[in-house]
Amino acid sequence: MFCPCGSKVNVIDVETGALLHSLQQDEEEDVTAFVLSPDDEVLVTGSRALLLCRWRWREPRCERTWRAVHTAPVATMAFDPTATLLATGGCDSTIKVWDMIRHYCTHNLKGSSGVVHLVEFHPDTSRLQLFSSSIDYKIRIWDLSSSRCVAVLEGHFSAVTSLAFADGNRLLSSGRDKICMVWDLETRQSKRTVPVYETVEAAVLLPEEGDFSQLGVKKKGLHFVTAGSKGILRVWEAATAACVHSQAVPFALREEPSERSLSQCQFVPARNEILTVSMEHNILFYDAQSLQLRKQLAGYNEEVLDVKFLGPGDSHIVVATNSPQLKVFELATSHCQILYGHTETILALDVFRKGLMFVTCAKDRSVRVWRMGRAGRVTCVAQGLGHAHGVGAVACSRLKESFVVTSSQDCTIKIWNIPESLTSKAKAALISSPEPLHARVTERGHDKDINSVAVSPNDKLLATGSQDRLAKLWSCSDCSLLGVFSGHKRGIWCVQFSPVDQVLATSSADGTLKLWGLRDFSCLKTFEGHDASVLKIIFVSRGAQLLSSGSDGLLKLWTIKTNECVKTLDGHEDKIWGLHSNKKDDMVVTASSDSCITLWQDVTEIEEKEAQAKQEEQIMKEQELSNLLHEKRYLKALGLAISLDRPHTVLTVVKAILREPEGRRHLDENIVRLRKDQKEAVLAFLVTWNTNSRNCHEAQAVMETLLRHEAPDTLLQFSGIKPAVESLLPYTERHFQRLSRLLQASTFIEFMWHNMRLADVAQQDQGSL
């Protein structure tokens, strides 16, 4: 599946929802149109730079780029059935036809008014006809043999949005004038006008073969599906102009366009599915024979305000975005459920321990309880009202699914009891509408907005954090105040209980994290390191570490025992509002204002195992190297030392070879038998050896061997030969100058010694006389 996104086209795996790769022509120029060839091998994109690019998208590779010749960006493109011709419609009112084999423009069709936003080839290649539409609401038929417009179909009173060929002689057109028209291509007259009472963005023909009885198709004939402003799919019978089936949806229909309106619709024969795209950038896959939703991929998330793992095995995540809808993603397939219920933006959510029930709160002053069924379908089972302002924080009981705590901008805390009917699976399955929740306790907790609320692991205590720079500890039974934590210089964003100690963690807009003792309410530790507000904190590594997220998009991992920040993770570009770890404590999910949701895997154990395995392998190789030297198997010893990338070890082997009775000959034999890559490595090593006068003799010996046994042309092919020679020359000259001085000094000493001996002999001769 291909999705345009700014300056690139993303290729997405439909089964997993994973991004395979991105095709990008120019980082600075947006893609204005793209089309896939009928054989699914070639993708052509057009950009605002007035360039066309032909891609082998599976590789991915750009085969060819050429100028579109249009004087304004290309608005639409279409291949002919043979994939040999490409038509491009531009914002300059012209249509170009390209020969994709010989790579030249075959036709330049003029006569359209305004932007040409739709082009389609007739499916019968023998006719050589091209159909187009522009902002004058007319459909033009072009004869490519004569390059002339042979007919103009008039009937629409707004932009034509799609063209579909029923057979060789019938054409279906849809428009934003809320009608669809069936045309006879022989007479070039309208046969039927179907009023659909909504702005139509696409019309798709149903195949004549196949069982579509579930869609109200009772007899043979032309049937089509429309998608438009109402956000639903409807099936129409062309002969009677009647709607025979309307899709059931979980939201109220609107006549005017909204975020739920559908912008695209396409029939996928290979999967027997109908694909639609909504104005919210969601991609939906429906079964073509029943219009039942098979899969949904969520597109743009806007600002993500909270995220939590969901499901018994943390198989899903539930996401609150800057909208009244919830999104539940299945991690394995990226399938998304969109849950309707709240009427204003959802601000926070929390999940019960078992992972089947969760709670949401929103600006609509309500709190809702949701339950996931066995098939993974989520439904709302309870709703509570009572706060005077938007509900900004929520926390669930930890031991059992017994109560929920909420806090609001009205500075109050409410404790809601969960009815037993919701906790029983058998009873919960019978619930047809949300049950009412009633607040057991209401308490005014702070003087300013309450940003966070948390319940202790034993369900006996709850903590709140507020913009008044205070955190407070309360009793869950009667919501009585037990103590106040004072010390932050700015408002508190998050509070969390430790899962193992009697400790409370808080994070603040002053950029610090603090740990507090629950017995004496004293500050035990302060963690400093964030340069911006710390929005969320959680305990990880079984309570031994803290993970914090900031408004600067950074995550920091803190070791509590040492007060040290051991890791900083940069994965977002804006405020990180959502932070949660799974039950196994080996994965973390984060959500940010940059619209991104990121999954983080704890690889500490994996890295430790890899490091240990690498260390063990190094020890084994060093032992093997020692054995090879002892056995005087120098060739293998050289190869092993080179593979370890240890210049000093290779030098040790060379010295061991030179200590042999015929060391130079053995060195020549072993160096010559090395592979080319090994010789290149030795050349790099000897450059280092040559810088030290103690090892220059071995370096010169190896260099001499290479110069004597390798042809100059072969040496020039070695990687790094030029810098190696540049490094060797000055040090080699210095070594020879030093040897020359030593030789001169040696000659002078010998001369003096000789003279002294002569003087001694002369003195002895005089004494004897």
pLDDT score, position 476: 92
What strands lie across the sheet with 273-278, from one edge to the other? 262-268, 273-278, 283-287, 293-297
Q: Which of 352-366, 386-400, 509-523, 624-638 has the lowest mean pLDDT?
A: 624-638
- How far apart are alpha carbons 672 and 676 in whole angstroms? 10
CA atoms 124, 125, 129, 134: torsion sign: positive
pLDDT at residue 754 tops 70: no
- Please tell me the least confidently modeled range out of 49-53, 303-307, 496-500, 641-645: 641-645
What was the pLDDT predicted at 742?
Answer: 59
pLDDT for 747: 59
State how far the alpha carbon of 132 is from the alpha carbons of 83, 90, 110, 118, 164, in Å: 18, 11, 11, 5, 12
SS (H, E, C) 702-732: HHHHHHHHCCHHHHHCCCCHHHHHHHHHHHH
Please name the residue that has the structure tokens 């000897």: 686
Q: Give the confidence band of 656 by pLDDT, cuts at 50, 70, 90.
A: confident
pLDDT level of residue 2 (50, 70, 90 thresholds)? low
Element spanning 327, H or E: strand 326-330
- Provide DSSP, 356-394: SEEEEEETTSEEEEEEE-TTS-EEEEEEEE--SS-EEEE
Res 133 pLDDT > 80: yes
Report whether pLDDT(523) > 90: yes
Residue 109: φ, ψ to 5°? -95, 120
In this structure, of 19-23, 154-158, 393-397, 655-659, the range with the lowest mean pLDDT score is 19-23
Q: How far apart are CA 111 and CA 152, in angstroms?
A: 11
| Confidence category of residue 131, pLDDT binned at 50, 70, 90 | very high
Residue 761 has a pLDDT of: 65
Average pLDDT over residues 572-590: 92
pLDDT of residue 755: 57
**Residue 427 backbone zone (phi > 0: left; psi -120 to 50: alpha; other: beta):** alpha
Q: What is the pLDDT of residue 765?
A: 66
Give residue 404's pLDDT: 95
CB 227 within 8 Å of CB 245: no
Report the percent of the chain where pLDDT is more than 70. 94
Closest CA to 225 of 188, 198, 186, 258: 198
Q: Residue 578 burial (CB < 10 Å; 0-12/13-18/19+)?
A: buried
Most confident of 27-41, 84-98, 415-429, 615-629: 84-98
Q: Say how far apart CA 523 and CA 485 lie, in whole Å.
A: 8
d(CA 761, CA 559): 85
pTM metric for this prediction: 0.73
Q: Is 753 exposed, middle or buried (0-12, 13-18, 19+ CB in 10 A)?
A: exposed
> pLDDT for 368-379, tens place per residue?
999 998 888 899
| Nearest to 338, CA basis, from 350, 314, 321, 352 | 321
Total residues found in the chain within this entry: 769
Give the span between the Cα atoms of 504 and 464, in whole angstroms: 10
Is a pLDDT exceeding 60 seen at residue 729? yes
For the chain, the straight-line distance linking the first and the last C-alpha, in angstroms and rounded, comes to 117
State yes or no: pLDDT of 507 exceeds 70.
yes
pLDDT average, residue stretch 338-343: 90
pLDDT beyond 60 at 502: yes
Mean pLDDT of the chain: 87
Given this model, what pLDDT does residue 259 score? 76
> What does DSSP assign to residue 643?
H
Least confident of 353-367, 536-550, 749-763: 749-763
Q: How far is CA 679 from CA 659, 672, 674, in A?
A: 21, 9, 6
CA dist., res. 644 & res. 627, Å (int) = 15
Helices (H) and strands (E) in the chain, counts: 10, 55
CA distance 186 to 168: 9
